Structure 1
Amino acid sequence: MKYLLQTLLVALLVGCNSQDSISGDDYFDDGEFNQAAEAYTSYLSTHPDHVKSLYNRGRSYEEIGETNKAIKDFEKILELDPKHISSYLSLAKIAYNNQDFNKVLIYTGDVIDLNENLAQAHFLAGRAEHQLGYLDQALESYNNAISINRDFGEAYLYRGAVKVGKDRISSACEDFKFAKSLDVPEANGAIKDYCK
């Protein structure tokens, strides 16, 4: 009888913890990021190496502006799984928002080493290169993103911006117009400013 009660108690605790992870997913989907982070934290208290919950908690922290906590979660994931592409991309986005463009290039380089066919990695690399004034490299990165995903509107927009910097206005306008056809809102302003 005592063994049966212990088994039931363990099953209930595991079920509750499992429910915390599911609740975290539900909260995240509903945009309730504080509650999501709390639910994931509860689950991680007994499953500290659960990569999916760590990643989702990190994303929740990002959404509520707790970027240092998000970074810690993403870095822990990379200790557990050095090939976790989503963590590298999340770290690259945080680094970009913090204007640490050299770090963006490190993280996107790691992603591209793991999978060179991710348009988002090439695009983020292009954005960082663009900010650093490496226009030729940025142009190549945007070209790579577009060759992987022909409908990547923002890549056309920023490739057009690089072309403006290289005084290739006619070609830039083609990119701005294509970005507009892909519903990139900023393309309208670029067309107005550069395309007659």
Structure 2
Amino acid sequence: MHSRISSSVSLVAGISFTLFVFLLFSLFVGCRSETEVSGPGDSAPDPVASVAPEIEPATRVVVTAPTEPRLVTYAEAETAYKNGSYSDAVKLFSLYSEQKPENPWGPYMLGLSAFKVGAFEMSQNAFEAALELDPKHQKSLLNLARVFLSTERADEALDVIDKAREIDGSVPDVHRLKGRALHALSQLTEAADAYRDAIRIDNRDAWSMNNLALVLIDEGFHELAISPLARAVELNPDVAVFFNNLGMALEHTGQFRDAETAYASALEVDASYTKAIANLSRVQTVDQDIGLTTVDMLAMAQDFVEEIDSWSDESIAREVPIAVAAIDSSSAIAVPSDSTTAQDR
């Protein structure tokens, strides 16, 4: 009996101890901290503390008014052009044209400025814009013709020159540009007549005299080309092209020493003029016929003045027959040209 009681007590004690250990373990697990760091190999994510978000101070927003393009006056842009700052003139006249869209002189001057920097497409667009504003803007027509001539579109140049002539045929530029277009189309007789028309209107039009002489040279009449060129250099001694072409006319008549003087004069005006450099170098090696005397340039210039006076208002008598063979070294001659039309408003 006693042994049974002892066994029962031992069993109860064992069970009690087991329950005690179990309850103690449960209490320990139930009280585990939520912030405990997981050990290595534990895939559970770290708990994130619940913290109120920090509020950043408001960013200061500065509102800037749109920048207004600065106002450009016609005088300011024109000054840039006259000073030879053609790239600046393009920018300034572009702004001026935007600010004064009703004024055709804005795109007209933009066209001239663009032409000076070789931007022919921009120049053409500008002149055409001026003509949209004023279809009778003759200066835009004439300078549009210059663009066409510079881009080898002589036929198109003739079309706008005819429109300019309908507006006012008394302007020498109309006839000079017509001469250039006809010359480019190899219509030499008609080109010479157009240049004579220009000179008859303005007997000091040195560019038309130069261009007339080039037609005569192309026709093979070098001696006849000397007098208009002598008059051209007398009127405009600061144009190297005139001296170069005078030298060519003299050289082809055998006047090598006079030609040498003319080429040297061209280089005094423009020391970098490559055609004159080549021409002078060539002619210096050529011996002249000892029977030839120096040409009196002043007398030749006066002869041309008297010739102009003899031209009739109704018609200009041709002095030379229809074109003959042109000279061989035409590449040494400066091409027909003219001065840029004076600017005004």
Q: 1:21 to 1:193 in 2, by over 3 A?
A: same
Q: CA deviation at 1:169?
A: 4.2
**Equivalent residue for 1:112?**
165
User: C-alpha distance in 2, partners of 1:46/1:173?
Assistant: 50
**Equivalent residue for 1:136?**
189
Q: CA deviation at 1:128?
A: 1.5
Higher helix content, 1 or 2: 1
- What are structure 1's unaligned runs of at least 5 residues? 1-12
Q: CA deviation at 1:125?
A: 0.9
Compare CA radii of gyration and give the structure with the larger one. Answer: 2
User: C-alpha distance in 2, partners of 1:169/1:60?
Assistant: 36
Q: CA deviation at 1:103?
A: 1.5
Q: CA deviation at 1:137?
A: 0.7
**Equivalent residue for 1:185?**
243
User: C-alpha distance in 2, partners of 1:22/1:96?
Assistant: 29
**Equivalent residue for 1:176?**
229
Letter in 1 for 2:202: N
**Higher RCO (C-alpha under 8 Å, 6+ residues apart):** 2
TM-score (norm 2): 0.48
TM-score (norm 1): 0.81
CA contact (8 A) 1:177 1:187 kept: no
**Equivalent residue for 2:42?**
none
Letter in 2 for 1:38: K
Which shifted more, 36-45 or 103-112? 36-45
- Percent of residue pairs identical: 22
Letter in 1 for 2:101: P
**Equivalent residue for 2:26?**
none
Aligned alpha-carbon RMSD (Å): 2.3
User: C-alpha distance in 2, partners of 1:29/1:175?
Assistant: 30
Q: How many residues align?
A: 182
Q: 1:38 to 1:132 in 2, by over 3 A?
A: same
Q: 1:195 to 1:68 in 2, by over 3 A?
A: same
1:85 aligns with 2:138: yes
**Equivalent residue for 1:147?**
200
- SS of equivalent residue, structure 1 residue 185: helix
Structure 1 stretches of 4+ with a deviation exceeding 6 A read none
User: C-alpha distance in 2, partners of 1:173/1:27?
Assistant: 38
Q: 1:159 to 1:40 in 2, by over 3 A?
A: closer
**Equivalent residue for 1:127?**
180
1:195 aligns with 2:248: no
**Equivalent residue for 1:160?**
213
User: C-alpha distance in 1, partners of 2:73/2:229?
Assistant: 46
